[in-house]
Structures are given as structure tokens and as C-alpha cells.
Chain A
Amino acid sequence: MYYRMDFLGRGSGLRDKFWRMSFTYIGLIILLALIGTITLYSAANGSWNPWALKHISRFVLAFALMLIMAVVDMRYYYKYAYWFYFISLLLLFAVEIGGHVGMGAQRWINLGLFKIQPSELMKIGMVLFLARYFNAITMQGIRSVRGIIIPAAMVLLPVVMIVLEPDLGTGLMVLFTSAIMFFVAGVQWWKFVAVGGAGGALLPIVWNFLHEYQRNRVLTFLDPERDPLGAGYHIIQSKIAFGSGGIFGKGFLHGTQTHLNFLPEKHTDFIFTMFSEEFGMLGSLSIIFINMMIIALGYLFAFRTRNYFAKLVILGLNTNYFLYVFINIAMVMGVLPVVGIPLPLISYGGTVMFSIMVSFGIILCMSVSQNSNISIED
């Protein structure tokens, strides 16, 4: 087996790599982070503290991390893909056993200096794992049941663990991203139909395993008026904020729903609501448009690269990002249940910021390494 080990991909040149990155892509990312910063400034009633300043500082750090991730030799991702997956899985076990209790659920591992969330690592780990697996296996293997039974198990194991944390939203995101990867790898349509049917049949049983608050979230999603002062309060207030914002919005720092505290979680999950109240439909469409551009560029990178592993990695991470944006926006508008998924780069919160920037870094890396070839096939 021959690897041309060259950590910084010297062959293509560090500077070369940098200049080959899509500056449009990077610019859109910076733009979103800046929108996030001014929105957090407004969320604190026109103050840099406690959120806006920290948000932009974190972004600067995460941006540096993204660049590092982008210039790393692509083959390292390939080489360490399984490792990444297994380490994430181990950490998931660790939180299951002795994780720090935060937000009423076990999601964190406290490393003293900072806390890590293994489920976030798993989102990336899963993509790398499946990309490498599908890169290695033959088309016949993909189309056989035996060829997909192992990766399916490797998907279900962490998904079940994440759901049990309990973090239903993240669990479903990992599951859905994986399903998309199975799909683009070429698994037959009927297998999805079969698995979907079986899953549907299992739904009542799953319902019984759900936590009370998770059931409430689903029920409240189906009928927000069910509990207008309790669980439904969030979504009703969020819809009022959207609706009263109208086309042009109430103006920066003038969102009454948010500044008078009618809207909960305005700096995290409901930040899109806050932005929409102040900047109206024009503002909401701008954020959607920027995200659409980022996602579209992701697809472009996936098409352009000739490397199959890179295609799968980009597609997987891009889907993951799409799910973040779609689920968050859909849930704050009352289209999906409130499952606690933040809006990347705009919502306040370090973990998602770093994990999404790492994703962007990997996507950039895959996109600039388009000509490199992973020649080894096991």
C-alpha cells in the first residue's frame, strides 16, 4: 500500500490551494457570521454583550480552524475517516456513561477548557465513514443487501445513542444525512421504501420510548393552541413575530416581540424569528438566499471534483448543513416541531459554530483537492 504522506499537500502547494478556494463561498460564510453578529447585538437590546462580541470572536477562531482544515492534505481525511468515526462513537458512549448534564440531557463532555458534544463530531464522522466505505465498495456491493447491512448498523448505533441522550433532532439529522448518502451512493429506491415502511410500522413503538417532553413537542407542533401558555407559547409568539414583521420589518433594534421578551430563546433557536421581525420578509429571504447559495456551491463542488470520496464527503456535509438551515427555519415558522436545532453561524453557541466551520473547511479542502487522486484502493 502506498500513501504519499504530505500533511500540507505540498505537491499542489499551500499557496496554490488557498488561491483555488472559492472566495464566493468564503465570502458568503463571513456574511452570515456578520448577520449573526448584528442580530445578536440587537438580541441584547443593542449591546455587544453578552453575545455579539463572543460570537464574532469565536467566528474568527473558527475561521482560522476552517482554513487549516481546508489546506490539510485530503488524503488524511480518507486515512483517518474510520478513526474519526470510532472516536466519535467512543465519546458518545462516554457521554452516555458519565456525561455532563446540560439542558436536561446528556450531551456534553467537559474537557476543562471547553466542552465537546460528541453528537456534533458524529455528524462529520458519519459522513467521512460512509464516504470512505462507499468509495471502497464496488457497485455490486452497494446494490447487495450484504454490502449495506454493515454501514446501516454503523449508522443506527450512534443514531439510537443520540436519540437516547435524548437529542431527537440531532439523531434524526444524522439518520437523514446518512440516508441521503446511501441514496447518492446508489442504493436501490425500493430499499428505502421498504425501510421507510418498516420504520413507519415501528413508529407507535418508538412513540412509547420517547420522553414526555419530546412527545409534547410533537403534539404541540401538531396543535400549538393545545397549550398556549406552555409548550405552544414559543411557536405562537414566534409566528406573531414573523407576521407582525411584515414585508419590511419593524427595523433594527425595534422588534417588539423580541425586545419585550415575548419571544423565548431569541439568541439561539429562534434567532431567525428575531431577524425576520426586524427586517421583514426581505430580510428573511436574504438569509435564505445566502444559505441557498452556500448549498448550491456545495453541489457545484461535488459535481466538479473527480474524486468519488470527495464527492460523497461534500454531498454529506452539504446535506448536513442544508438540514440545519431547513429544520431551524421550518421549526420557528411552525412547519416542523421545535426540535432544538440552531441556525448555523447566526445562532449563538460555540459547538455548532466550530463543527459547522470544520465542515466548511473539509468541503473547501475537498473542493480544492479536485485534481488529487486517492490512488489506493484497498
Chain B
Amino acid sequence: MSRIDEKSRIFGHRVIWVIVFNLIALVVIVSRLYYLQVYDSAKYRVMSDENRISTRFLVPPRGVIYDRNGEIIAKNEQNFQALLIAEQAPNIHDTLTNFGNIIDLTDDEQQRIEKNIKQKQRFIPIKLKDGLPWNDVSKILLNAPDLPGIEIDEGLSRYYPYADLYAHVLGYVGPVADKDKKDSPLYLVPGFKIGKSGLEKSFDYRLQGTGGTVKLEVNAYGRVMKEIERKGGKEGDSLTITIDSRLQKAAYEAFGDNSGAAVVLNVNTGEILALVSTPSFDPNLFTNGISYKHWNALLNNERTPLINKAVSGQYSPGSTFKIVVALAALEAGAINVNTKYNCLGAMDVGTTKFHCWKHSGHGNLNVIEALKHSCDIFFYETALKVGIDKIQSMAERLGLGQVLHVGLDNEKGGLIPSQSWKKSRYGTAWTRGDSANSGIGQGYVLVTPLQLATMLARIVNGGYAIKPTFIKPTDKQLNKIKRLDISRRHIEIVKQGMFEVVNGLGGTAGKARFNINGAQMGGKTGTTQVRRISMQERRRGITREEKLPWRLRNHALFIGFTPIDNPRYAVAVIVEHGSSGSGVAAPIASKILQKALLLDIK
């Protein structure tokens, strides 16, 4: 055997081992292949779909809001956005410069855009300007050849055609903030807007609708390749509220430049026919995020346009509270229609001297005359006689001292004091002086305009415990309204007093009287001190309210109803620092009620 043959023989043996090794490798590879492509295939299929399919939510159109006559007061408008897609612009800088020549960009916007260009991937659209008016859109489209990479995106955005008129009723919508609850996946969709205040907030779920979904195929860089599946959502439900836009407008305009609030109720159903708080603001500014400039202007305005004074403003009711005191005393039997007190202009309660607003005194008068002239002495005496706890009980039955839940945020409950309240709040005993102060609606007593309107409505409708509401009550709900246990005779006495205030000779609101087809107004004035005029000011000659700075002047109040027989409408008006209930608040209330009568709101 040659050397070559021996080597070949060994080669032959050894190659068998090499082939065995190859076969082992083959088994490893094939079993691994089986494991991946058959055994674990389902798992990897899911992972592959997770890679490529991106589910996005489609924002449903928000429900439209109507007033009681079917007028649209909140709707969705086409909104035009200018977007920049960086990768489609050969030169981003040129495109932006050309855009800036057509559309003004603020410094803030420019900074935001530059930041976005740096941060975002080149195929993700960057918002240049939101809420473009149509003429700007057409300008952009006309100049399209100079604006490579710029696209106009058409979407929906909330629009309030009445602007500031409904700001405090409807509130506004805005982008979801970090602190908002996110219980629907819609909340995570960029550009999704939710109700941030007002009825937009309290009816948010109903107005939102349900979101659709769209499944998109995306590549590894997140670029959308194609649409795989689309499931439509459901538009938000519409909402009809009880306000009459014409009356709302009249009420708003009646205030002129004054800062204040008014609430108009249908006394028999509790429907809120108008609710205004002035000054107001344009909720459309909030839809796409309000600018700092506007926000600061609203925040720093001393007349607090952002606060809904109709439900959040708590004021001393002043003399308007005398109606409650009178009714409590009559019901308790502490006085009757013939009970008279002699007003000498002042009286001693304990060691303190309590004055009537009329320092010369009113002389002898009964409850009707006392309401007509708003005599303070009569109500000091009456409050002392009936006691605070009975007054508190009557006030609460009439809707004061509690949150009425009409669906507006930050609705306040006001405050109706009692003996036990003072004890637990201050740890001191209730004094006769406290009772006297409460008798004329000063001291601890605090109410909101909404509560005052409710109180008046519950009295003049004959004692039915209506609840103020923005949603028209059904007949079934109306039938369920309970009658408060208040004698109709006593109600008539108080109504008589309120008639005299406006229509009687020498009544405090005589100037506000009207007669529309026999319908007249009854009511009660109120003026509450914000601060006493000090001795130094008196020495400097400031004895008249008008000479004080605005924010130190008295608040002016008026509550009124019409017609006298079978009343239909009740209004509560407060004019902050308006100085005089009879001079400022009553004429506003008068205008509003006349408008309600003329409109004949059913």
C-alpha cells in the first residue's frame, strides 16, 4: 500500500466524522427553524403585528348645543391648520420665510416651530398656525408654489357663535391637561378637546360621543404606509338648554359696563331663562389654547371676567333678605300683618346703637310698609323677636345656604348662619346684635344671585320648591315638585310688600316700574356695604359713594318678578360696587323682565 493510499484511507474515515458533524449542524438548524416557524409562530405573529400596526383613535364631532328656541349656541366649525412637513420642503428656511411673509407669526409661535423642527422626525407634520381664517387659507393655497412642504389640514374645532354671551354658561373646551382624568383612550389623542368649564364640562361625556379607530400600517420609523381598517365612531349627543338667547343678550347688554350678574328663572318650572355674569370673555379663545397675553389680561382684570358671579359670587343679600325674615316671622307667628314697630332712625341692641338707613326715621309701620320703605328698625325688631334659627330654617327651605347643582363648576353654597353654626365656627354664643344684623341681610349671611332668584321664585310661585335647571324638566318631574309648607296668605303679604316697593308711592324702586299689558313688577332692593365710609373720609368731604374708588363702593342688588298676579319670571340682579340697589340694580332687573314679557317666553 502506497503512502498516498494510506493517507486516502484515513481521509475516508475522518471525512465520515466531518459529515456527521455537518448532519448534527443540519439537525440544529432545522429544529431551530421548526421551533421558530411552527412551534412559536403564533407568538411571533402577534409581535410582528404589534410592530407594524398602529391603532389611532378618531375624534368624534362634539355634540351641538342649542338654546330653548333651537338656536345653535355651540357647534363645530371647520378649522384650518397650516402644517409643515419638513421632509417635503427642499429648504425649510425658505419655506418658513415665505410663509411668514403671508401669515403673521408671533415670536412665541416662531420659537415653538423652530423647537419642533429640531425635535420631531422629518415626516411628522408640525403645526405652524391653527384656526386660520378662510382668506388666509386662500392666500396660502395661491402661494403654494413658494411654500413647498406646507399643507392645509382641515379639522373640526369648537365654535361659539355668541362668543362672550354664553361664556359663563357653556364654559369652553380645551386640550386635555396632565391633571385631567384619562378614563377613555380618546383622551390620549393629540388634539382631542374636552369641556374645561361650564356645561361643556358637566355634560362632557354626553357631548363627547364615542371615538372611532383606524388601524394603520407603520414602518420601523413610524411613518404611515397604509390604512388597514377603519371603524367609525359616534357623534356626541346634542344638548338643548333652557336659556333664551334673546333674553340672555338683553340681560347681558343691560349691564353695560357694570360688573355683576343676573339670573332669570321661570318661577313655575325652575328653568333658567338667562344667566349672565359680566364682564365676560370669548370662550373661542380657549379652543386652540389661549395665548399668555389674553390669559393674563383676563386674570388680572379687577372685574374678574373669569369668575361666574351668578353662581360663584357670594354676597351679603342686604335688604333683599328682609323678605325671608318677614316670611319667617309671619310663619312663626312672631308678627302679623298688623304688627307695627316705630322707627326713630336708631335703636339700642344691647350696648350697640343700630341705625336705620333713614336717620330721621320712618315712624310707625307694619310689615308691608316696612318692605316698601326697606325700614331697618322694623326688621331688627322682627329678627330679634323671631330668632335666628327660624330665619335660617326658612332661608334654607327657600333655597339659600346650599349648592343648587345646576351643573356649573365652582357653584357656591352661600351661608345662612344659626346659633349652633356660630358656636361651632367661632366658639362664641350668638348675640342679639347678630340677630339684628342678620335681619337686614348683613353680617354672616351670604348668598349667590342664583340662590336669590330661586328664593324669589319659590315665594312668588306660591311656595313650590322648584329647582333651577338648564335642562327643561319633563311633565313628570314638574308634577313631582313639592309645595313648601308656607301659608299662601303670608306669601301674599310679602308679595304685597314687594308690589309696593316698585309701584307704591315712595317705594324704594319706584323709578323701575313698568306696565306692559297690565303686567307689573314686584321686587326688593338691596344695597350692601363693602366698607364703611371712615371718619377721615367724612372730614375730607367724601360722604357720597360715587366719590369712593370703584372697588370700595357698595354692592347694588335687586330681586324682581312679574306679573304680580300669576307671576311667570323672577330675576336676581347684582351690580358689584354699583352703589345703589334702587338706582342701578332695579333698572337693570326692570329691563330684563320687560324683555321677558315682550318675548313671552313660555
> B-contacting residues of A (Cβ < 8 Å)?
134, 138-139, 142, 180, 183-186, 237, 239-247, 256-257, 259-262, 276, 280-281, 284-285, 288, 292, 295, 299, 302-303, 306, 308, 311-312, 315, 319, 322, 326, 329-330, 333-335
Contact = CB atoms under 8 A, between A and B. Distances in A.
Contacts of A242: 33, 36-37, 44
Contacts of A185: 7, 10-11, 14
A240 B18 CA distance: 33
Kindly list the 9 A-B residue pairs having the minimum CB-CB distance in the complex, ordered from nearest: A243-B44, A244-B48, A260-B219, A261-B220, A281-B37, A186-B10, A242-B36, A184-B14, A244-B45
A329 to B, nearest CB: 5
A288 B30 contact: yes
Contacts of B217: 256, 260
B43 interface: yes
Interface stretch (B21-29, B321-329, B502-510): B21-29
B50 to A, nearest CB: 9
B6 to A, nearest CB: 6
Contacts of B28: 330, 335
B221 interface: yes
A260 B51 contact: yes
B339 to A, nearest CB: 87
B14 A186 contact: yes
A138 B218 CA distance: 65
Contacts of B11: 184-186, 302, 308, 311-312, 315
Contacts of A243: 36-37, 40-41, 43-45, 47-48
Interface residues of B, number: 41
B37 A280 contact: yes
Most buried by A among B29, B33, B36, B43: B36
A260 B220 contact: yes
Given A241-B48, A243-B48, A315 B18 contact: yes
Contacts of B10: 139, 184-186
B189 interface: no
Contacts of A186: 7, 10-11, 14
Contacts of A322: 22, 25
A315 B30 contact: no
B231 interface: no
Given A183-B18, A308-B11, A139 B220 contact: no
Nearest to A236: B47
Given A139-B6, A184-B11, A308-B4, A256 B48 contact: yes
Given A243-B37, A281-B34, A284-B33, 8 more contacts: A134-B7, A243-B36, A247-B41, A257-B48, A288-B29, A292-B26, A308-B8, A326-B25
A257 B51 contact: yes
B23 to A, nearest CB: 9
B4 A315 contact: no
Contacts of B29: 288, 326, 329-330, 333, 335
B15 A184 contact: yes
Q: Which of B7, B25, B52 has the most CB of A within 10 A?
A: B7
Contacts of A295: 22
A250 to B, nearest CB: 9
B32 interface: yes
A241 B220 CA distance: 13
A307 to B, nearest CB: 9
Contact of B8 (A241, A284, A311): A311
B218 A260 contact: yes
B429 interface: no
B179 interface: no
B44 to A, nearest CB: 2
Contacts of B3: 138-139
A246 B41 contact: yes
B19 interface: yes
A240 B48 contact: yes
B38 interface: yes
Nearest to B33: A284
B225 interface: yes
Nearest to A276: B37
Interface string B427-469: 0000000000000000000000000000000000000000000
Contacts of B48: 240-241, 243-244, 256-257
Contacts of A261: 219-221
B17 interface: yes
13 contacts: A186-B14, A240-B51, A245-B37, A246-B41, A256-B48, A257-B51, A261-B219, A262-B220, A276-B37, A281-B37, A322-B22, A330-B28, A334-B32
B51 A288 contact: no
Contacts of A139: 3, 6-7, 10
Contacts of B8: 306, 308, 311
Contacts of A306: 8
Contacts of A312: 11
Contacts of A329: 29
Interface string B202-214: 0000000000000
